[in-house]
Amino acid sequence: MNRLRGLWMVLVVLVLVAGAWLSQRHTPASPSPEDPAIAATLKDPLVIAKGRYLAAAGDCVSCHTMRGGAPYAGGRMLPTPFGNIPAPNITPDGETGIGAWTFSDFWRAMHEGVGRNGELLYPAFSYTSFTKVTRDDAIALFAYLRSLPAARQPNAQLELRFPYNVRSTLTAWRAMYFKPGVYRADPSQPASWNRGAYLVQGLGHCNECHATRDAWGGLNSGATLSGGLIPEQDWYAPDLSMQANGGLQGWNRQDIIDVLKTGQASKGAAIGPMADVVAHSTQHLHDDDLQAIADYLLSLSARSTLAVVRASFDGKSLADRGHAIYEEHCADCHGKDGAGVAGVYPALDGNASVVEPTGVNATRIVLLGGFPPVTIGNPRPYSMPPYAQQLSDADVAAVVTYIRQAWSNHAAAVQERDVAVYRHTPID
C-alpha cells in the first residue's frame, strides 16, 4: 500500500512539473491599445444589440450573476466535483471586471481558454464550446459587455482541492479534452441545420450538461448530447436525440420549439437548471433560431437500445403500491392516463424527465416540487407542490417507480435509499 501511495505521489509531481513547463508556452498578453477599427465597431449600436442577443443565446447572465447581485458582476460559485469555481465579473469595471481588456484578450479567452494574463482558464467557463463562436459574433458579445454599467465587485477565490487548484495541471487536461476551432458549416446540410448546430455546439454549449463525463471532468468520447448527470447539482440532463431510443423519442419539431419558447410542451416541461436556461436564454431567441435548433436536434442519430437496469427487489409490488399513491395525490392534475393537461399540467407518459436513466429528476420533483420558468408565452405557469412533508421515502420510491413504469414508460424502479439522499438536496 505504501509503495502504491508513493508511486501515486511521484505521478502527481511529474504531472505538476510537466504542466508548469508546458504552460510557459502561454505567455501573458502584452498591454496594447485596442485596434482602431475594432474600437469603432464596439461602439456601433447595431453591433451592441447583436451582442445582447448573443449573450442571451449563451445564457451568460446565469453563471456570471450571483443571487441578488448586479447582472454580469460575477460572484456566483459554480460547483464541480473538484471544488467550487467563482464566475468572474465581466462588467467593464477597470479594476475588478474586463474594463482593461481588449478584444484580443476576450477572443483569446473565448477561443483558446487562456486569460488576459496568460493563465489557463478552468473549463467551468465553457471555452470547450465557445471556441466554436465566430470572430464577428465574439466582437458583438464583447461590445455588449463593454456597454454594460460597470460594477465594482472583486472576484472570489478558487475553492478547489489539491492538485486541481494548480492551474498548470490544466495543460494535461487540455491535451486530452480541448481542441480549439471555430464552427465550420457542413456544406451537405441546409442553412437552418447549420445555424442550429452552431447555436447548440457553440454559444448554447448544450453538450456541457447533456453528456456524460469521466473522472477527470472530460466529456466521454461519443457522448454528444447523449444525456448525463450534472455534476454536484443532482439533476439529469436528458439525451436530446428525437430518434429511436433517444431521450426525446416521440417529440416533434414543434415540441422542441414550444419547450424552449414557453417552458412547456405536449411531452413535458423545463425543470431544474433547464428552467433557468429557458427563463434567461431560449425564450428570447428568434423563432427562426428556435426552428434551426429543432432541425439540428431532429438530425441526431438513433441510439442503441439500452437495457433497463432492474432493481434487486420486487419492483412490481412497489409500483402497485405507488399506483394507489398516484391516484390519491397525482391523478387529478396529471390524469389517470398520465396525459396531463395541455399548457397546464405536463404529461408524465413519455416525459423525458420521468424516464431518464437515474430517476433523480422525478424523485426531486415529487419531494421538492417543480417550478417551470415564467416566460412571455407562459407568464403564470402552474407549479408542482412539494410532497416531502406528506410522503415518506418509501412512499416516494413507490409513486416514482409507478410513474416510471406506467402507461408507455419502461424505466427502472427507484429505491428508498436514493430518495433519502435527494430529500436533503437543495433545488439550487
Q: What is the CATH number of domain 191-298?
A: 1.10.760
53-72 confidence digits (pLDDT tens): 999 999 999 999 999 999 99
**CA-based nearest residue to 384, from 417, 351, 411:** 351
DSSP string, 261-283: HHSEETTEE--HHHHHHHHHTGG
What pairs with residue 265 in β-bridges?
A: 268
As a whole number of angstroms, the longest Cα–Cα distance in the chain is: 72
Q: Which residue ranges make up each domain of the chain? A: 17-177, 191-298, 315-423
Least confident stretch, 114-118, 219-223, 247-251: 219-223
Phi and psi (nearest 5°) for 81? -65, -10
309-338 confidence digits (pLDDT tens): 444 455 788 989 999 999 999 999 999 999
CA gap 120, 314 in Å, rounded: 51
Q: 3-class DSSP state for residue 114?
A: strand
Name the pLDDT band for 238 (thresholds 50, 70, 90): very high
Identify the architecture of domain 315-423 in CATH. Answer: Orthogonal Bundle (1.10)
Q: Does 315-423 match 191-298 at the fold level?
A: yes
What pairs with residue 200 in β-bridges?
A: none
Give the residue-averaged pLDDT of 278-298: 98
187-235 confidence digits (pLDDT tens): 999 999 999 999 999 999 999 999 998 888 888 777 789 999 987 778 9
Please report, rounded to a whole number, the percentage of residues in the chain having pLDDT higher than 90: 74
Length reported for the chain: 428
Phi and psi (nearest 5°) for 312? -80, -5
10-55 confidence digits (pLDDT tens): 344 444 444 444 444 455 545 567 888 899 999 999 999 999 999 9
If residue 265 lies in a helix (H) or strand (E), which one and from where to where? Answer: strand 264-265
- Are 253 and 267 spatial neighbours (Cβ–Cβ below 8 Å)? no
Does the global pTM surpass 0.85? yes
Name the pLDDT band for 133 (thresholds 50, 70, 90): very high
What is the pLDDT at residue 391? 96
Question: What does the block give as the cell for 294?
Answer: 429543432
